[in-house]
Structure formats: C-alpha cells, structure tokens
Amino acid sequence: MNQRNTVDRRGRFLRRYDYDDATVIAADLNAADDDVTVDTVDGTAIVVIAPEGDRDDEEFEFELPGPAASVDIENGVLTIEVHA
C-alpha cells in the first residue's frame, strides 16, 4: 500500500491509499452528510457542500485515477474507491 496526503487551500485534508487492485481517496469535509453532494464524471469528483444557514455553498473538484466504483459519506468523511 502506498499513501499520499494533501491539504487544499481551505484546510481540507485528503488522503489517498493506493492498493494493488484499487485506490481509495478519503476527504474530511467537516460538513454534515446531508449537506454534501458528490458527482463523479469519468476521472473527476465534483463535491458541493450546501449548508443550511448563513454559510455560502462551496464547490470543488479533484481528479481521480479512473472512474469511481463507489462513493460514500459518513460523519463528514467522503470516501471514493476506484478499481484498477
């Protein structure tokens, strides 16, 4: 397993795990699960955080190493799995 970490300009922490047969990307969004929408198109993940209240919606995207096999959000943590 190979692991890489990055932090984006808003302080979100992204971690990428490369296995022999899959890649898993995990991102701590610091948002309620119901406030997050994720679309994947080919090798790109598009994330929209639309919180209730006075905070503005936030949108960002990042590249995936291929099409997503699964997408999950639990306790504010986004997990995307890509099969090799």
Residue 47's CB is within 10 A of a number of other CB atoms, namely 22
Tokens of 57: 């919606």
Total number of domains in the chain: 1
Query: Does residue 75 come out as left (phi exceeding 0), alpha (psi in the -120 to 50 range) or beta?
Result: left
Going by C-alpha positions, the residue among 58, 7, 59, 57 that lies closest to residue 28 is 7
Tokens of 75: 């306790």
**Residue pLDDT, tens place only, 19-39:** 999 999 999 998 999 999 999
| pTM (predicted TM-score) | 0.86
**Residue pLDDT, tens place only, 31-63:** 999 999 999 999 999 999 998 877 789 999 999
For residue 57, the domain's CATH number is 2.60.40.790
* Domain region containing 8: 2-83
Residue 2's CB is within 10 A of a number of other CB atoms, namely 8
